[in-house]
Amino acid sequence: MDEKLEKAVVKILGEKRFALLKYLCAHCDENGFIGVKIATLEENLRQSKPTLIASLKFFEEKKILSKLKNSFYQLNLNHKGRQ
């Protein structure tokens, strides 16, 4: 990611939300699916459970992420009509 764009996104989301989003993007499959436990996120991102849960809910509210079941999510980053 371009350094200027990354700085802008960090200013919008905050460092912790950006780190989580970056992690989810890096670890999802080609369809946006990711299976990850909160404990794994806590360990890898060094963020607290309440912070991670709040960030995941934020991404759900913004329709960026869908929780399909416990520890299983889908990133919704594809635009209709685009590839």
pLDDT in tens, 3-41: 999 999 999 999 999 999 999 999 999 999 999 999 999
pTM comes to 0.88
How far is 52 from 56, CA to CA, in rounded Å?
6
pLDDT at residue 62 greater than cutoff 60: yes
Question: What is the share, in percent, of the chain residues with pLDDT greater than 90?
Answer: 89
- The pLDDT score that the predictor gives to residue 81 is 44
pLDDT at residue 80 greater than cutoff 70: no
At position 83, the amino acid (one-letter code) is Q
Contact 67, 24 (CB under 8 A): no
Q: What is the edge-to-edge ordering of all strands in the sheet holding 33-35?
A: 33-35, 72-75, 65-69
- The pLDDT score that the predictor gives to residue 77 is 83
**What's the Rg (C-alpha) of the chain?**
13
- In this prediction, residue 79 has a pLDDT band, given cuts at 50, 70 and 90, of low
Range list of H helices, the chain? 3-13, 15-27, 38-45, 49-61
CA 47 from chain center: how many Å? 13
